[in-house]
């Protein structure tokens, strides 16, 4: 069994299609989605349709999904994110708005090894941006491998009997993490549709279950096309600009 792990797609269909094309080449069996299907990007309906067609084994909501679906206010968002959330709410078809609003709260236990959440296992809206926060999340997670999103930065942490360490990320390119018995892992696959680690390429991960190996991937996609769609939709131009910077 091989899981394809997608997070923070943010209505960027061009990035999602590039990732799915590459994932097809690499091969996978089932899909896990860590939330934030929409928000920021210009193709929320197309992205939701594509995800529904994949029939994910597990999918949870993200903070942008909650606001775009109208089940939570945009008070915690900055003005640009608020504007994008309002645009998304108006643009979503009733069917897709219903789909978004009924995605469950994480964490979800996918199998005996795997758990998924949006922010952290203890709080779907929390950002794991420090090693202290990562350590706390590792202690809250109930499976050997916990996948999370929300920060848009690919990274993997490991907790062993003797300590805590960063085992992958903070650099470009492919990174493999071998899941060893008796250790606990906290892994962010990065963002498909709005990377924030300075690398504009779309990010995703594959989890090979036997032997247990997680691989973090990056793949290029037509950024200019996604930028044009954002501008044409009348969304804030800064959302287009940041895609080229990976910030």
In whole angstroms, how close is the CB of 40 to Zn ion at the nearest point? Answer: 8
DSSP assignment, residue 104? P
Q: Which is nearer to Zn ion, 44 or 144 (CB)?
A: 44
Q: d(Cα 123, Cα 121) in Å, to the nearest integer?
A: 6
Smallest distance from Zn ion to CB 177, Å: 22
Closest approach, Cβ 123 to Zn ion, in A, equals: 15
Residues that bind Zn ion (CB under 5 A): 8, 36
CB of 8 to Zn ion, least distance (A): 4
Give the number of other CB atoms < 10 A from CB of residue 91: 18
Could you tell me the smallest distance in angstroms from the CB atom of residue 171 to Zn ion? 22
CB nearer to Zn ion: pick between 184 and 194: 194
Residue with smaller CB distance to Zn ion, 36 or 208: 36
Please name which of 162, 143, 153 lies closest in space to residue 197, comparing C-alpha atoms.
153
Residue nearest to Zn ion (CB): 36
179 or 216: CB nearest Zn ion: 216
Q: Where are the beta strands (DSSP E) in 49-99?
A: 58-59
- Give the span between the Cα atoms of 231 and 41, in whole angstroms: 10
Nearest to 152 by CA among 127, 182, 122, 178: 127
Q: What is the DSSP string of 181-225?
A: TT-EEEEE---SS---SS--SEEEEEEEETTEEEEEEEE---HHH
* Residue among 63 and 219 whose Cβ is closer to Zn ion: 63
């Amino acid at each position: 069994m091989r899981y394809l792990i997608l997070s923070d797609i943010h209505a960027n269909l061009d990035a999602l299609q590039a990732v799915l094309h590459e994932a097809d080449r690499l091969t996978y069996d089932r899909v896990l989605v860590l939330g934030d299907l929409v928000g920021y990007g210009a193709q929320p309906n197309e992205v939701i349709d594509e995800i529904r067609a994949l029939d994910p084994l597990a999918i949870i909501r993200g903070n942008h999904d909650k606001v775009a679906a109208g089940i939570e206010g945009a008070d915690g968002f900055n003005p640009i994110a608020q504007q994008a959330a309002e645009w998304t709410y108006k643009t979503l078809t009733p069917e897709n708005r219903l789909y978004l609003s009924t995605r469950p709260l994480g964490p979800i236990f996918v199998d005996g090894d795997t758990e998924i959440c949006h922010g952290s296992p203890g709080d779907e809206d929390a950002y794991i941006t420090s090693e202290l926060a990562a350590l706390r999340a590792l202690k809250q997670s109930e499976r050997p491998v916990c996948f999370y999103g929300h920060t848009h930065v690919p990274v993997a942490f490991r907790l062993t009997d003797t300590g805590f360490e960063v085992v992958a990320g903070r650099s470009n390119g492919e990174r493999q993490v071998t899941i060893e018995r008796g250790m606990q892992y906290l892994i962010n696959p990065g963002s498909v549709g709005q990377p924030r680690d300075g690398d504009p390429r779309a990010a995703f991960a594959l989890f090979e279950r036997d032997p247990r190996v997680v691989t973090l991937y990056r793949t290029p996609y037509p950024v200019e096309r996604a930028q044009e769609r954002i501008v044409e939709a009348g969304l804030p131009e800064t959302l287009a600009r940041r895609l080229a910077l990976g910030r």
